[in-house]
Amino acid sequence: MASNDINELEAWNERIFAHARGFGLDTYPQEFEICDHEQMLGYMAYSGMPSHYPHWSYGKNFEKLKTLYDYGVTGLPYEMVINSDPCLAYLMRDNSFLLNILTLAHVYAHNDFFKNNFTFSSIRAEFTIETFKAHADRVRRYIEDPSIGLEKVERLLDAAHALSLQCRRNLAIRKPTPAEQEERRLEESTPSPDPFQSIHRRTEYVPPDLTKTPLYPDEDILLFVRDHNPFLSDWEKDLLTIVHEETQYFIPQIDTKIMNEGWASLWHKRIMEELDLPQGMRLEFIVRHNQVLSPNIGGINPYYLGMKVWEDIEKRWDNPSAEEEREYGPRKKGGREKVFEVREVERDSSFLRRYLTEDLIREMNLFEYEARGNERVISRVADKESWRAIKETLIHNVGMSSVPVIKIEDADYNSNRVLLIKHYHEGRDLHLEYAEKTLQYLHQLWKREVVLETIINEKKSLLCFTDDRLVIKGLR
Amino acid sequence: METIFHPYHSSSAERSDRSAGDRLRHRQKVREAIRQNIADIIAEESIIGKDRDRIIKVPIRGVKEYRFVYGENAPGVGQGGDDAEPGQVIARDQGKDNGRQSGDQPGIDYYETDVTLEELVDIMFEDLELPFMERKLLREIEVEHHHRRKGYRKKGIRVHLDKRRTARSRLKRRKATHRKEGEELGSQRFPFHKDDLIYTHRVIETRRESNAVVFCIMDTSGSMDTMKKYLARSFFFLLYQFLNTKYQRVETVFIAHHTEAREVTEEEFFHKGESGGTFISSGYRRALEIIQQRYHPSLWNVYVFHCSDGDNFETDNSAALQAAGEIAEISNLFGYGEIKPLGSGYYGSSMIQFFSQLDRDNFQTVQIQRKEDIWPAFKSFLVKDRLRKEAG
């Protein structure tokens, strides 16, 4: 991009930023880096990070993206934004000028979302880039260390990656320390005062087993292994920490994909409309906007779904229907105020649960499908009876809800240092081949037998991984 | 102004191929995965006598990224048109990435890669641990042109234009013209005419000794499993490649036998598992018939190789021996390979000992227990051929 283009871009940016601020968007300072498509692919493969530790899976990512791009299956995204302070985004110089302007507007809304949504509050955005850089340096150091080397580091990272998403989801809730857990355990086992104790038989006091590890089921599998496997060396523990921390960084983004993209689309549209574009650019804007926001038939386009819901919230709070008025009373807030509140306090699952209405589901013709043999078959369509079920299924498939909840129950199962983990089954079975391989990784990290309790075909089962093979035992 | 623009620097773009290392590592893993499954791939693909640039799709196991994910009974939600109805099929074959679902569905991690046959052969040689010199020998197939000149023609393609003869015929015509018209040979222009052009004519010659036919005979009785077939196939493949370096035209005939023999295609040869007992003689008899009908030994160099796991019905042994003698009579080289993967063999039913009664220069028996045995076995097999060449 030539320098006069940059000057022009800066001129446009000034206006865009003024409008963004005028709408009430509250952003971190913003930085744009101009890159070519090859660099863009590179950033995408590493989730946008300027520096990231090496692992073959990112090479696989890159190859996949490049193949798709080269064969024209997918284009490159217009925007790639990193949640950091200052917020970093990339502009592709091969893109048209209008597309870059559109990206500017879109990025400011993401920036605002990162800064204000509660799920991101657990992240120290000012350290993002530095943290990833430090992680990369540490991993590289282990690789270069002759006593460790690439093979071992890779083996450990493979295992850690497999389990990385098995961690706490709501980071806004603080995890109680072991001392606090102990206290809580004691408190729970103390019988509550009984006003009729003179006529009741006295409940027997059972002292809680405080030696049990963990006291409460623990969802942070990597951290638990790090803290409770005495056979891990320091570099292994450090790698587990690195993978865990990186995952924690991405969880809010996974968990707010629909809201975030919808939010950015909502505002880029409004900002662009304020800009009073010349005719040619205006037409191109309409085309591009409609490309991004076109419904994805057969699947879900988060941009489209998100924006629909945002617009609907604003409309319903500005002009509530008579029916709503009757049910909820007069609105205390206007639409604008409401959407800004919602962008602060919701995540995708709660956002859809509260604001995806029956009318919207019908309007978008959402349906539920299930696998039958090799086919995907529509099982429910949006009608009076099943819209709730469709909504429920959708909520179970967004963000971290699409990852099974698995917690560590006991690190000393059968007094044998066997690791017992439990799948909190809510209707969906695990994919067994994947479960087996993942258990193998956990076995590799724990260095002893691991047992997974789950439900297979409505039958409670134990998947025991030991001595390089899986044994499935049915229970009851 | 809070916003900063970092301009594009082409130098940083050149430096920024940061995924190079990870891509390399990924490709190594893919290759490794292929290597680990080479037995299955070779046993499943038709590689003998195929074009070397042929692309083969190889499913890759081992570079998947496993996690805990939901399985089959987890429903999803999509957006439809107005016509969406319960029971409507929206997609088939979850193995393919149709860009519908988010990337964390297990089906999408199914991974296939394209390799050329050339690469696959490389990997196979690697797997067999062939010495490099030998590898080179097998890979470089010399292509000789067996076009022979045969006379001249008035028509032809430009490259075959015989300039000398063309010029001469122009001169002749010029002289004749002048004589007829009685003029002096002057400086008048006398261009080439279409009739002056003379082209060389070439014919493709089939040299007798450039024909070879490989008879792959294999026992397809129930006891031949995938590993045995892989070993057999590797051996046949080496033989084919080797003969390709020596002969212009190599044909292959596949004969599968159990108690009776049939000529089959390569696919069937390696895929059709059959059951039942074994009459080795039936395979040999069928080979002899085909040789009589289509590949007369006076025109063809006949190579016969037979792979079996050594089980044969006692009653058939003498017939087999006799037929083997007849084949040895008319072929350049006749080999019998007994495939007994380690631990599976019991000594009693080996045909090798039995065939030792057959005392022919060009008959060789080899025993293959592991894939490492293939190359030595192959070499010892070929020694017999060279001896015969020297003798003859």
Q: How far apart are CA A409 and CA A418, in angstroms?
A: 11
Mutation target among B79, B90, B112 for the A interface, most CBs of A within 10 A:
B79
Say whether A376 and B64 touch across the interface (CB within 8 A).
Answer: no
Say whether B78 and A300 touch across the interface (CB within 8 A).
Answer: yes
Say whether A60 and B63 touch across the interface (CB within 8 A).
Answer: yes
Interface subset of A 413-452, CB within 8 angstroms of B: 423, 427-435, 437-438, 441
Q: How far apart are CA B283 and CA B326, in angstroms?
A: 13
Say whether A430 and B16 touch across the interface (CB within 8 A).
Answer: no
B17 vs chain A: nearest CA distance in angstroms? 7
CA B379 to the chain's CA centroid: 19
- A73 contacts in B (CB within 8 Å)? 99
Helix (H, G, I), strand (E, B) or coil at A78: coil
CB A116 within 8 A of CB A83: no
Domain end position, chosen among A400, A428, A451: A400
pLDDT for A356 equals: 94
Q: How far apart are CA B245 and CA B143, in angstroms?
A: 9
Q: How far apart are CA A463 and CA A471, in angstroms?
A: 6
The sign one gets for the Cα dihedral B265, B267, B268, B270 is positive
For residue B298, the domain's CATH number is 3.40.50.410
User: Would you list the DSSP string of A287-336?
Assistant: HHHHHHT---BTS--HHHHHHHHHHHHHHHHHS--HHHHHHH-S-SS-HH
A320 touches chain B (CB under 8 A): no
| Closest residue in chain B to residue A363, using alpha carbons only | B82
pLDDT digits (tens, 9 = 90+) for B349-359: 677 777 777 77
pLDDT of chain A, 476 residues: tens digit per residue = 555 688 899 999 999 999 999 999 999 999 999 888 888 888 888 988 989 999 999 988 888 788 778 777 666 677 889 999 999 999 988 888 899 999 999 999 999 999 999 999 988 999 999 999 999 999 999 999 999 999 999 999 999 999 999 999 888 888 999 899 999 988 888 877 778 878 887 777 788 888 888 999 999 999 999 999 999 999 999 999 999 999 999 999 999 999 999 999 999 999 999 998 999 999 999 999 998 888 888 889 999 999 999 999 999 999 888 888 888 888 888 899 999 999 999 999 999 999 999 999 999 999 999 888 778 888 888 888 889 999 999 999 999 999 999 999 999 998 889 999 999 998 899 999 889 999 999 999 999 999 999 999 889 999 999 888 888 888 76
Domain count, chain B: 3
Helix (H, G, I), strand (E, B) or coil at B174: helix
Q: Which residues are B193's β-sheet partners?
A: none
Whether residue B384 is contained in a domain is answered as yes
Asked whether residue B239 falls in the same domain as residue B374, the answer is yes
CB A377 within 8 A of CB B89: yes
Q: How far apart are CA A368 and CA A391, in angstroms?
A: 9
Backbone angles phi, psi at B224, to 5 degrees: -85, 110
Asked whether residue B374 falls in the same domain as residue B352, the answer is yes
CA distances to A175, A215, A425 from A160, rounded to whole Å, are 21, 24, 23
Interface subset of B 101-160, CB within 8 angstroms of A: 101-102, 104, 106
For residue B303, the surrounding DSSP H or E stretch is strand B301-308
Whether residue A444 is contained in a domain is answered as yes
CA distances to A178, A423, A436, B98, B187 from B69, rounded to whole Å, are 30, 11, 11, 19, 92
Mean pLDDT of B224-243: 77
Domain end position, chosen among B184, B204, B224: B204
Whether residue A246 is contained in a domain is answered as no
Say whether A46 and B18 touch across the interface (CB within 8 A).
Answer: yes
Mutation target among B68, B101, B102 for the A interface, most CBs of A within 10 A:
B68
Q: How many CB atoms lie within 10 A of CB A470?
A: 17
Asked whether residue B159 falls in the same domain as residue B291, the answer is no
pLDDT for B308 equals: 83
Q: How far apart are CA B269 and CA B257, in angstroms?
A: 10
Mean pLDDT of B84-108: 53
| Mode of pairing for the β-strands spanning A375-381 and B89-92 | antiparallel
Asked whether residue A330 falls in the same domain as residue A348, the answer is yes
Domain end position, chosen among B180, B204, B228: B204
Asked whether residue B319 falls in the same domain as residue B226, the answer is yes
> With pLDDT > 90 as the criterion, what percentage of chain B qualifies?
5
Whether residue A165 is contained in a domain is answered as no
| Closest residue in chain A to residue B67, using alpha carbons only | A162
Q: Which domain holds residue A85?
A: 3-117+256-283
Burial of A410 (0-12, 13-18, 19+ CB in 10 A): middle
Whether residue B337 is contained in a domain is answered as yes
Domain count, chain A: 3
Say whether A434 and B3 touch across the interface (CB within 8 A).
Answer: no
Q: In this model, does residue B212 exceed pLDDT 50?
A: yes
More confident residue, A155 or B340: A155
Residue A126: DSSP 8-state = G
pLDDT digits (tens, 9 = 90+) for B154-211: 888 888 899 999 999 999 988 888 777 766 666 678 888 888 999 999 887 655 456 7
Q: In this model, does residue B244 exceed pLDDT 50?
A: yes
Q: Which segment of A47-61, B281-295, B359-373 scores lowest on mean pLDDT? A: B359-373
| Closest residue in chain B to residue A16, using alpha carbons only | B3
Asked whether residue B232 falls in the same domain as residue B364, the answer is yes
Backbone angles phi, psi at B191, to 5 degrees: -70, 165
- A39 contacts in B (CB within 8 Å)? 13, 16
Q: In this model, does residue B139 exceed pLDDT 90?
A: no
Whether residue B94 is contained in a domain is answered as no
* Identity of residue B108: I
Helix (H, G, I), strand (E, B) or coil at B76: strand
CB pairs under 8 A between A and B: 240
H runs (alpha helix) in B297-339: 317-330
Asked whether residue B287 falls in the same domain as residue B324, the answer is yes
Whether residue A311 is contained in a domain is answered as yes
A393 touches chain B (CB under 8 A): yes
Whether residue B142 is contained in a domain is answered as no
B18 touches chain A (CB under 8 A): yes
pLDDT for B110 equals: 42
* Identity of residue B343: G
Q: How far apart are CA B358 and CA B328, in angstroms?
A: 9
Q: Which domain holds residue B44?
A: 22-64+104-128
Asked whether residue A396 falls in the same domain as residue A407, the answer is no
